[in-house]
A and B are shown apart, each in its own frame.
Chain A
Amino acid sequence: MSDHWLARPKTIRWLWRVFVAVLVLTVLAEFFVVHHPHFRVEEVLGFGAWYGFLACAGMIVFAKGLAIFLKRPDTHYEKSERDG
């Protein structure tokens, strides 16, 4: 039995293509709307796009860095609390 249509590699390839097309369209849409920026940085082309991507990448990297120090097995508290 073949898997659900949504899980097939072919569909996923198509979803990626559509996703990239939508990404390009949203940036292009900037040319067709009236802007009333509060800050100069908003006037840079594709501000939301590059800022959103970089912010997320930054947060993921920061989280991974924090994890080096703060990550523990999820049984960390269990033993001591059950005994205590």
Chain B
Amino acid sequence: MASTFLHPGLLVVVAGFALALLRGRVRAAVALVAPVAALGLILAAPEGVAWSGTWLGFEIRPLAYDALSRMFAVVFAIMAFAGALYALNQKSRLELPAAFVYAGSAIGAVLAGDLVTLFVCWELMAVGSTLVIWSGGSGSAYRASMRYLAIHLLGGVLLFAGVAGHVVTTGSTGFERMALDSPAHWLILAGFLINAGAPPLSAWLPDAYPEASWSGMVFLSAFTTKTAVYALLRGFPGTELLVWVGLIMVFYGIVYALLENDMRRILAYSIVNQVGFMVVGIGIGTEMALNGAAAHAFTHIIYKALLLMSAGSVLYATNKRKCTDLGGLFRTMPLTAICGTIGALAISSFPLTSGFVSKSMISQAAGDEHLLWVWLALAAATAGVFLHAGIKFPWFVFFQKDSGLRPNEPPPNMRLAMLLFAALCIGLGIFYQPLYALLPFSTSYLPYTGAHVVVQLELLLFSGLAFFVMLPMLRRTLTITLDTDWLYRWLAPRLARGVETLLEMGGRQIRAVLDGALARVGALVHRHHGRDGLLARTWTTGGMTLWVAILLAAYLLLYYS
């Protein structure tokens, strides 16, 4: 059967390399067919290990399917397809091939049955995603891509050290559930969390992603953080620390997004916020919570991509990205505005959208476990999501004041991609059974109970009331909010420059002292050997004869005494 011979991730990576060489319709056909073929392979493959072997003396299983890995691979393939459709008219010839290498290695990472393969795919993703940011083309995109790469290489080093330690102590390369009982496992967790956008290094995400092109960020939003969610789901379910890490991410995302002016940075902070919900679910660790985290990753990829497609369309049409420059675009971009609003409703987990059927499982799990404070925090955060992404994004971009801009809707391929994902956001919200069937644990959870719908509507609608009542406090300004990237973007260069100055000053001092000492030695030599020095004078013949006579007399005296 083809599904056991062919690796869907590898297929997408190879298609990416082919895209670099192809032109025109053939290129478009390859870009659209490869992800669909990969999706077919993923759905057709039986559970179990399809590829296994040894590499560098390690047992590896580069292709292994179970319910969890299949679920993530499915949504990655869907994302690659919609992203390719959206990016067909992208002028950059680097971006789509890079995005395919990135998407393919993400599929490879979730289908990896061992830590060695996982690590290789993990690093390949870092390369692919860096190239996607790089192909944004601007100077700031290049600088951001280098910062992004530095953080991900750091994460890769931590992961590598952890995997090496794990393999040495256990003798197994298998990717199984791990406990935080050894430095190696802490290192693996740190490597995973860096990619998930967890504090204290979460700043890489809002720093780098919004520098990508209008289509680049659509790809970026999907794979890195969700591969990390998958890795945490498999490696560290039920690790209590993750509940608290996740809650910090949730509120960090909301607060920073509330203060942000750049529309795509708002959505970038909101990725951290959403991944925070998933990390909380993984930390709770019950079947309901893990199902919720997995389902939320699935639906989040789709609605976040939809939001970024609508933001990308605005960027494409207006070349503007700041809320202060935008507004009133619903007049000439109604379809983009509607699709963006559907994405905004889905991220807010409005009933009848995909976010509702996934996020509610995480809250339900917190309730079932009687974690009152976690449950209250999640409820507050649910209202906060509507505030920072659900209303703020569409309001400031498509409504608020009339900016005077009258841009046209984007080209048909971009509209089609948005319509596809908008349909999925609503479709999965109503017909959620196929999504639940993909979950790692079988469930009979019913999201649509009367009480649940009413409380959710109350939370969201009164959050909306708070937004409009407090609108003056949310007025956009031309500002950013300092984040931990300040440490390496502002403080570290200045520290380095300071140290450099100190070294230079110290060097100058040492040189001055040395120069002084050398000058004194020189003067001494000069005094004795210089033109008038004692040892350099021209002596008279008589004087010389006298000295020789004295020497001979001394010799005679010494000889006979």
Q: Which residues of A contact B470 (CB under 8 A)?
A: 56-57, 60
Task: Choose among A32, A52, A60, A67 the residue that contacts B462 (Cβ–Cβ < 8 A).
Answer: A52
Q: A7 with B254: in contact, given A39-B367, A39-B372, A55-B379 (CB under 8 Å)?
A: no
Q: Which residues of A contact B330 (CB under 8 A)?
A: 4, 6
Q: Which residues of B contact A27 (CB under 8 A)?
A: 458
Which residues of chain A (39-57) have a CB below 8 Å from chain B? 39, 41-42, 46-53, 55-57
Contact in complex: B259, A56 (CB < 8 Å): no
| Interface membership of B560, Cβ < 8 A | no
User: Which of B140, B372, B461 has most A Cβ within 10 Å?
Assistant: B461
Instruction: Produce 1/0 per residue, B263-285, CB < 8 A to A.
Output: 00000000000000000000000
Contact in complex: B465, A34 (CB < 8 Å): no
- For A3, give the chain B residue with the smallest CB separation: B402
| Interface membership of B543, Cβ < 8 A | no
| Consensus secondary structure, chain A interface | helix
Contact in complex: B255, A38 (CB < 8 Å): no
Q: Which residues of B contact A73 (CB under 8 A)?
A: 478-480
Q: Which residues of A contact B328 (CB under 8 A)?
A: 7
Interface size on A, residues (CB 8 A): 53
Contact in complex: B402, A47 (CB < 8 Å): no
Contact in complex: B454, A48 (CB < 8 Å): yes
User: Which of A37, A57, A60 has most B Cβ within 10 Å?
Assistant: A60
**Minimum CB–CB distance for A31 against chain B, Å:** 10
Counted as pairs of residues, one from A and one from B, with CB atoms less than 8 Å apart, the total is 162
Contact residue range for chain B?
35 or more
- CA–CA, A22 to B454, complex, Å? 12
- CA–CA, A4 to B328, complex, Å? 10
- For A61, give the chain B residue with the smallest CB separation: B473
List chain B positions with a Cβ less than 8 A from chain A. 139-140, 143, 251, 254-255, 258-259, 261-262, 322, 328, 330-331, 367-368, 370, 372, 375-376, 379-380, 382-384, 387, 402, 449-451, 453-467, 470, 473-474, 477-483, 489-490, 493
Contact in complex: B455, A53 (CB < 8 Å): no
- CA–CA, A66 to B382, complex, Å? 21
**Minimum CB–CB distance for A35 against chain B, Å:** 5
| Interface membership of A13, Cβ < 8 A | no
Contact in complex: B454, A84 (CB < 8 Å): no
User: Which of B454, B462, B473, B481 has most A Cβ within 10 Å?
Assistant: B462
Q: Which residues of A contact B372 (CB under 8 A)?
A: 39, 41
Q: A60 with B458: in contact, given A4-B331, A38-B368, A39-B375 (CB under 8 Å)?
A: no
- CA–CA, A27 to B462, complex, Å? 10
Task: Choose among B382, B461, B473 the residue that contacts A26 (Cβ–Cβ < 8 A).
Answer: B461
**Minimum CB–CB distance for B435 against chain A, Å:** 24
Q: Which 8 A-B pairs have the closest CB atoms?
A: A48-B458, A33-B450, A56-B466, A55-B380, A38-B367, A52-B459, A52-B383, A48-B455
